[in-house]
Amino acid sequence: MPGPYITTDALKARLADFVQVSGGELVKGWESIAADSLQAAYGEIVGTLAGRGYTLAQIDQWGRRFEFQIDLALWWCGVKGAWDQGDVNPTVLKELDRRAALQTVAVTGEEEAGILAPAASPVGGGPLDTKNDAFFWRDPYGRKNPWD
């Protein structure tokens, strides 16, 4: 199902752990920040990978989509002013910004280890070898096949 891959409640639980809030409870008003951050993270993932040629169906099957959305959503919470809740190491916060990694990350499926090819891959690519083809070169004048 397309859409954010994690729930707002799951993000709020991660956020409470991340900012080390005593008692694990965030103050009121986090519902909208968490929801906005989830949408922003989802938009970053889909926008970047679609720009690389992947379809929404391929992105929704990507095995690392949860990991990237959690990190990006936590980062977006920080961008939207969420880090006044507790102590957050700025180096760790910088590591959560995975937008640059989306430009080069391998997009693999959940079950298989193979790489999902972008939807815009060229048709008919590969080596030009006709030795194992069902149809082969038969020139009536006895010329040699130029591709052999």
**Burial per residue of 112-132, b for 16 or more beta-carbon CB atoms within 10 angstroms, e otherwise:** eeeebeeeeeeeeeeeeeeee
Cα gap 114→103, rounded to integer Å: 19
Per-residue pLDDT tens digits of the chain, which is 148 residues long: 456 788 888 888 888 777 766 666 777 777 788 888 899 999 999 999 999 888 888 888 888 888 899 999 988 888 876 565 555 667 777 888 899 999 998 887 764 444 455 555 444 445 555 566 665 556 667 667 666 6
Contact 88, 78 (CB under 8 A): yes
pLDDT at residue 28, rounded to an integer: 74
C-alpha 9: how far from its chain's center? Answer: 21
Provide the whole-model pTM: 0.67
